[in-house]
A = this chain, B = another copy of it.
Amino acid sequence: MSAAGPRPVSIFDVAKLAGVSHQTVSRVINDAPMVADATRARVKAAIADLGYRPNRSARALAGGAVRSVTVLTTDTSLYGTAETLRGIEDAARAAGFSVLISVMDPDQDYSEADILGRLSHDGAAAIVIAHDEVTTYAMRVLHERQPGTTVATGGEHLGNGDRDADWLISLDDRTVAARATRYLLDMGHRTVHYLAIPGKASRRTGWAEALAAAGITAPEAVDSGWSVAAAAEAATGLVADPAVTAILCGNDDLAFGVLHAAHRAGRSVPGDLSVVGFDDYPLAAYHVPPLTTVDLDFRGVGRGAFDLLRYKLEGGSDPRPSWRSPELVVRETSGPPRQ
């Protein structure tokens, strides 16, 4: 069952074959200058011959550049998380970093030690994709214990205003939630209901603020879980009420759930009911009818998070935000209310 095999080839084997010292081999594999071209060629040949591959553990131990990031998150199959992860990966790969992913259980209680223990070593570079209590806690702990090597994305700001800008990247979903709410109001809806997703407080805030700004008392937000099924369930009361003509949803899964519930309740969309989602899943544009929603550039944010981390780690030029701002995408699940 065990897979021992012969001892893997090391830097010394290469050195011997090439007739140089192991240090020269090290120089070659690290593209260091100060190696004669002829020597370099000889070493490279030996490397190819032997199929030598550097051992990252040894490299890390010896104090070489680390070139790896640990991503902490709770659910890699959620659209937003998956896309953010994708963005991180893309950027990390391009920079020659490897990415470790550490998935936490949203229903478990973690200690500081639990969280720190997920890193491969003390002070290891980390990116937290924060979108719930557990990951928000992880983000706090890591930022406090190792601010120089931690970056987070998606999390709500810690209330430090701009001081968070050097480690926390987030999309301004609050403003765009307000924008979406106003859009519905402007079409003539008397109010807008909100189907809330756990954690994303800023979306709810934006919605409430837009209502307040219009002089409307916000109806009670309805809480839903993350899944389409939970949303369909949570929205049954809402869709059954003829007075409800517009619903803003915490994300597209919830919107799909609402659409399903509305269909079952015999309410037509957008005739009887306008539904607006959040996230712009790839499917949203191809749904029947196509879903009005908010485009959120998760992948861009993931890339941005990695760029920022790398800047903290290695310096270089200040990375400039490279992600799209959230934007309302009006499609066919929204319209003016029926007279």
Contact = CB atoms under 8 A, between A and B. Distances in A.
A123 B8 contact: yes
Task: Point out which of A79, A101, A256 has the most chain B C-beta atoms below 10 A from its C-beta.
Answer: A101
Interface stretch (A53-61, A152-160, A203-211): A53-61
30 contacts: A1-B311, A1-B312, A1-B315, A3-B148, A5-B146, A5-B148, A8-B122, A48-B113, A53-B117, A53-B119, A56-B120, A57-B57, A57-B121, A58-B61, A61-B61, A77-B86, A82-B82, A86-B103, A93-B103, A93-B105, A99-B101, A100-B100, A100-B101, A227-B282, A228-B282, A228-B285, A229-B282, A259-B288, A283-B283, A287-B287
Contact of A86 (B76, B118, B256, B313): B76
B314 A1 contact: yes
Contacts of A83: 77
A286 to B, nearest CB: 4
A202 to B, nearest CB: 24
Task: Point out which of A3, A5, A118 has the most chain B C-beta atoms below 10 A from its C-beta.
Answer: A3
Interface string A237-253: 00000000000000001
Given A5-B148, A8-B122, A57-B57, 8 more contacts: A2-B313, A2-B314, A56-B121, A57-B121, A58-B61, A98-B102, A257-B286, A288-B288
A119 B54 CA distance: 10
A154 to B, nearest CB: 16
A55 B61 contact: yes
A131 to B, nearest CB: 15
B103 A101 contact: no
Given A55-B61, A77-B82, A123 B3 contact: yes
A272 interface: no
A149 interface: yes
Interface in A95-130: 98-103, 105, 113, 116-123
Q: Which bucket holds chain A's interface residue count?
A: 35 or more
Nearest to A150: B3
Contacts of A123: 3, 5, 8
A27 interface: no
Task: Point out which of A55, A282, A283, A314 has the most chain B C-beta atoms below 10 A from its C-beta.
Answer: A283
Contact of A2 (B117, B148, B282): B148
